[in-house]
Structure 1
């Protein structure tokens, strides 16, 4: 019998309240654009990724198309799918890295590849929008990490490589869900594989620069739900407030172990 405790609204509320800062900002941008598109429907045409309209005056589409959605159901399903993935990513890499990637390369790279494929290879003009491209990007990244400890999973007598899981989901989605972009989802997954393999991590500013910004602007002290880039030193949400001096605290006879992500 399935347990209904997992649907406890208190737990859902607690999870929402614990979402880190950049995840909140991205979700708020999705909801805000959807609300703005109700009285101004031309915003969808302005933000969607339309290959035939792409030129140097339309580069904003590469950044906006993942947070623009066609309708309410499209928005809700994408938010449910992408929220735990972005939250997990931000918990691992920090708020500054997440903000830099999701407002930049994680939109422009898969979007740019999609435009090139549509215009010069497939010779079609299929417009796309929605955060599902981020869903498959992050699923591909997670699958690559999981494959290091669990290279295969079994379906009957067959062993399936773990890293192929997002590709299987892309194919299933294209068959089950109408009006989805197979090529767009594959572009997102491709960037996820490149990120997890380390080939595009040079796009992230150096950790010393990010740490200097955090210290100079006192981001840990000023911004609630901010996740430090240097989690080994500060923990997930920075240094916890204390009234006792560290020098007066009793010392453990054994070395400590860092808890949490």
Structure 2
């Protein structure tokens, strides 16, 4: 009898894990170990969570550490299961260096600043700490949804007659609302802040946040990162592809710049971010 298609074999799991690129591995492992450590040391988690009422010049670390802490093991596991494939796709499209720069810098800082500013201005839950990597999940979902919207503006919900056409770009907002309704303690505002940055990135408005490609290509070539680092993804996907090209097959610098190379590679009480 044939094996059911829904069953996942250990070989498939190993194959998927082997395909996870470098930056995704580093970020996922950092989130896992920091969250476990934070659950063992509540004072560390209090230090790292985003608490608008206590965010000042002396505690600016909160704006960059909150995605790495989680309130419980199930909170951590569910977020990592959702984040890993999204982050893998992002890194495969943008490269390892860009992914590390963005997710340890602007993609922490900007949603955190928006959340803190809105919370302080509206006096909404200023004493409620938030933490969790789901702010990145909604950021990536929104970026993907906006890109999908350009080719597929609507998806059909066949529960009414006539069928309801829902805008593709708005699907992360619907997901954030449903999670807020059905999962107690989640932060709707935090998820919406992640969505806002994701739409900005997906639309190209925030593309300037990424480091310029020319110096990154120079660094990659100078340090031979494609050859030295397993699972490394080149910054220039249009020329190098998923795993880059062999040095003997590359074109000249002018060809690289023009994109014409002939050879291409194949604790604290409060709100949590996420379920």
Q: Same fold (TM over 0.5)?
A: yes
Shift of 1:18: 1.3
Q: Secondary structure at the match of 1:57?
A: helix
Is 1:103 paired with 2:104? yes
Q: Secondary structure at the match of 1:153?
A: strand
Is 1:189 paired with 2:195? yes
Shift of 1:4: 4.2
Q: Secondary structure at the match of 2:57?
A: coil
C-alpha distance in structure 2 between counterparts of 1:197 and 1:54, whole Å:
30
Where does residue 137 of structure 2 map in the other structure?
135
Q: Secondary structure at the match of 1:124?
A: coil
Shift of 1:6: 4.4
Shift of 1:3: 3.4
* TM-score normalized with structure 1 length: 0.89
Distance 1:36 1:142, change over 3 A: same
Partners of 2:245 and 2:264 within 8 A in 1:
no
Shift of 1:258: 5.8
C-alpha distance in structure 1 between counterparts of 2:19 and 2:246, whole Å:
16
Where does residue 38 of structure 2 map in the other structure?
37
Partners of 2:98 and 2:210 within 8 A in 1:
yes
Partners of 2:176 and 2:192 within 8 A in 1:
yes
C-alpha distance in structure 2 between counterparts of 1:233 and 1:168, whole Å:
37
Partners of 2:23 and 2:100 within 8 A in 1:
yes
Distance 1:240 1:133, change over 3 A: same
Is 1:168 paired with 2:180? no
Where does residue 14 of structure 2 map in the other structure?
13
Shift of 1:133: 0.4
C-alpha distance in structure 2 between counterparts of 1:29 and 1:35, whole Å:
10
C-alpha distance in structure 2 between counterparts of 1:6 and 1:85, whole Å:
22
Name structure 1 gaps, 5 residues minimum.
248-254
Which of 191, 205, 208 is 1:199 aligned to?
205
C-alpha distance in structure 1 between counterparts of 2:249 and 2:68, whole Å:
45
Is 1:88 paired with 2:89? yes
Shift of 1:229: 0.5
Shift of 1:122: 3.7
* TM-score normalized with structure 2 length: 0.85
RMSD: 2.1
Shift of 1:230: 1.5
Q: Secondary structure at the match of 1:7?
A: coil
Shift of 1:38: 4.2
1:83-138 deviation per Cα after TM superposition (whole angstroms, max 9, x unaligned): 00000000000001101100011110011100011111244322110011011100
C-alpha distance in structure 2 between counterparts of 1:51 and 1:33, whole Å:
21
Which of 219, 239, 245 is 1:239 aligned to?
245
C-alpha distance in structure 2 between counterparts of 1:246 and 1:134, whole Å:
37
Matches within 5 A, 1:118-133: 118-125=119-126, 126-133=128-135
Is 1:223 paired with 2:225? no
Distance 1:92 1:34, change over 3 A: same
